[in-house]
Structure 1
Amino acid sequence: MIRVWGRNNSVNVQKVMWTIAELGLAHERLDVGGAFGGIDQAYRERNPHGLIPVIDDEGTVVWESNAIVRYLSARWGQGTLWHADPAMRAQADQWMDWQQTTVQPLITPVFWGLIRTPPEQRDEAAIATATARLGQIFAMLDRHLENRPFIAGDTLSMGDIPLGALTYRYLNLPIERPDLPNLQRWYARLTDRAAFRKHVMIPLT
C-alpha cells in the first residue's frame, strides 16, 4: 500500500492523488501540512525540505510532486500514463517541467492573493500583473492543444496531470481570461474522468 502525506487542498497533493486514482493503487492519505501541522522530525526524515507531499511505496520514499507523478507512472503505469516511446514521453516531460517553472510561479500569487489573503491585504498590482501573464502562457498551451486531445498525444499521460490540476485553479479563479477553446476542450475531457473530479475538482481554499 502507498502512503501519502499531505492535505487534500494542496495542488501538489492533488496531482499525486489523481495519479494514484488513475492507476487504481491501494493507498492511505494522511493529513499533514497547513492547519494540520505534522511537519515534525519524523516527517523530515522522509522529506528533509519539510514540504508536502511525500509518499512511501513499500519502502521507496519520494518527494516533490512531479517526481512522484513520474515515479508512479513509470512503476505502475507502463503503457498508460507512462509512454513506452521515449519521444512521446519527452512531450509529457517537457510540459510537466513547464508547469513547474512557468505556470506555478505565476498562478501562486494570484491564487494566494485572491483565495488565501483578506481583501484589505491583497497586492492588487501583483495580482493583475500575474493574471495578464497567465493569459499569455495559457494561450501557448491552447495552441499546443489545437490538434491533439491530450498533452502528449491521443490518450491521458503523466503530462496532463500537473497542468490539469493547475488549469482547474486557473479556470475557477475570479479573474479575466482570454478565449481558450482548445484548452477548454481538453479540460472538458479531464472533467469526464472520475479521478480528476474526486481529487482535483474541490472548492478552492
Structure 2
Amino acid sequence: MIKLYGTSMSRAARSLWALEEAGVKYEHVPVGFTGETRKPEYLKINPNGHMPALDDNGTFLWESMAINLYIAEKYAKAPLWPSTVEGHAACYQWSFWGMTEMETPLLEIFMSRMRPADQRDEKVAQAGIEKLKTPLKVLDDHLQKSDYLLGKEFTIADLNVASVMSLAPLIQLDLSANPAAQKWLQKCLERPANQRAVAMK
C-alpha cells in the first residue's frame, strides 16, 4: 500500500489531496515539525529531511509536485490526468509555473505576516504582493476564458496550482482585482477531496 509521510500543515497537504482525488488506497503517516524529519529512519525515505515523502511499495519519491504528477499519471483517470501528451505537457507547465512564479512570493508574505507581532515585516509582505501582480494577472486572464486551467474539467494542474495558492486565504491576500482567479481558487479549495486532506493531522 502507498504510504504518504507528512503533516497536512505542510506541502504534504497537496499530495494528500492528490491521493484523495485519485481515489487510491493509502496510509497517511503523520510527521511532525519537531525534528521527526531529521531522524535516521525518515532520512532513509527523504534524505533532504523535508515533507512530504511517498513510499509506493518500495518506490520512494520526494518533492510534492513530483509526487502529485506521479500519482496522477499512475493512478488517476481523465480528466484528473489528461489522456493526451499535450494535456500532460499543460499539467507540467502549470504545475511548474505555480512553483516558480507563485510559491516564493506567497511564502514571503506568509513568513512576514504569520510571525509574532514584534517580528513581522510588512515591507517584505508588500514586496511579495507586488511580485504576485504579474502572475496573478496571467492566471486571471487565462481563467476568464476557461473554467479550469485546461478547459472545462478539473485536472492535476488545477490541484497543484490551487494548493500553492491555498496560502492566499491564510495571509488575507486581496484577490478582488483578479475575480476569475479568486472564483477558481475558491471552487478548487472547496472540493471534498481537499476538505478531507486538510482535515488530517
Same fold (TM over 0.5): yes
**C-alpha contact (below 8 Å) 1:33/1:52 kept by paired residues:** no
- Change over 3 Å in CA distance of 1:175–1:146 after alignment to 2: closer
> 1:17-96 to 2 correspondence within 5 Å?
17-35=16-34, 37-96=36-95
- Change over 3 Å in CA distance of 1:175–1:187 after alignment to 2: closer
Q: Give the alignment partner of residue 119 of structure 2, picking from 118, 121, 142.
A: 121
- SS across alignment from 1:159: helix
**C-alpha contact (below 8 Å) 2:166/2:189 kept by paired residues:** no
**C-alpha contact (below 8 Å) 1:168/1:200 kept by paired residues:** no
Q: Which residue of structure 2 aligns with residue 136 of structure 1?
A: 134
Matches of 1:70 and 1:41, distance apart in 2: 27
TM-score with structure 2 length normalisation? 0.91
TM-score with structure 1 length normalisation? 0.89
Matches of 2:13 and 2:139, distance apart in 1: 21
Q: Which residue of structure 1 aligns with residue 2 of structure 2?
A: 2
- Change over 3 Å in CA distance of 1:177–1:147 after alignment to 2: closer
Matches of 2:143 and 2:174, distance apart in 1: 21
AA of the residue aligned to 1:17: L
Measured on the aligned residues, the alpha-carbon RMSD in Å equals 1.9
Matches of 1:60 and 1:45, distance apart in 2: 12
Matches of 2:199 and 2:180, distance apart in 1: 20
Worse-matched range after superposition: 20-29 or 64-73: 20-29
Percent identity at matched positions?
Answer: 25
- Change over 3 Å in CA distance of 1:26–1:201 after alignment to 2: closer
Matches of 1:88 and 1:171, distance apart in 2: 29
- Deviation track 1:143-175 (CA, whole Å, cap 9, x = no partner) reads 111111111122111101121112222134234
Q: Which runs of 4+ in 1 moved over 4 A?
A: none
